[in-house]
Homo-oligomer: A and B are copies of this chain.
Amino acid sequence: MDTPPMIGKNIQRLRSSRKLTLNVLSERSGVSKAMLSQIESDKVNPTVATVWKIARGLNVELNDLLDTDDQPKRVFTLNPAGEEAPKLETRENGVSIRILSPLNMVEELEMYLVSFEPHSKLASEPHYPGTQEFLTVVKGAVKVQVGENSAEIRKGDFLVYHCDIEHSITNESNQPAVVHMVVRFTVDKH
């Protein structure tokens, strides 16, 4: 980005995708509809506070409005169960991990399907600060240990935890278990 961000189109797109009129957004944001109109057509150079109010009215992060990068291509990425992805699958100690998410989005979000044989365990080192894991138990039951805390969860349960400390997932039962895991890498500032 080597020119100040032109945020008009962003706001316009978000507003119309939400089917909001200028009047409604004006009410919700506290910014006059005249100003909204001019900002959307880039006739004006809004203050940070104003853009922030608009972001709030749209229920969006401030940065989403300031972002002028092009939209990503409309893709349709398939990762079929049958197709082996050799480098993406590991199997040890009765735990096998299939990486669901495509490689090009590895930075932000990763998704795994983790299968546990009876009496198996997956132990993980601390990740970067701010990283979160989202577990959904698809089959069976597992025990999750995060630092001091631990929880037993069963099929259909959902669990979120911050995993910048040591953590592990254990299948202590005599039945296999399957867990859907999403890892989000929040980029740490400061």
Binding site for B on A (CB under 8 A): 1-2, 4-5, 7, 13-14, 17-18, 45-49, 51-53, 56, 59-64, 66-67, 69, 71-82, 98, 100-102, 105, 107-109, 111, 113, 126-130, 132, 134, 136-138, 146-147, 149, 151, 153-162, 164-165, 180, 182, 184, 186-190
Contact = CB atoms under 8 A, between A and B. Distances in A.
30 contacts: A5-B48, A5-B62, A13-B129, A17-B129, A47-B47, A48-B51, A60-B107, A61-B107, A64-B189, A69-B189, A71-B130, A72-B130, A72-B132, A72-B162, A74-B161, A74-B162, A76-B151, A77-B160, A77-B161, A78-B151, A78-B160, A79-B157, A80-B156, A81-B155, A81-B157, A100-B158, A101-B160, A113-B136, A138-B138, A182-B182
A156 to B, nearest CB: 3
Given A71-B164, A78-B159, A80-B158, 5 more contacts: A63-B66, A74-B147, A75-B161, A76-B146, A79-B160
A111 B162 contact: no
A160 B102 CA distance: 8
Contacts of A132: 72
B72 A188 contact: yes
Contacts of A72: 130, 132, 162, 186, 188
Given A47-B47, A101-B134, A109-B184, A75 B160 contact: yes
Contacts of A2: 56
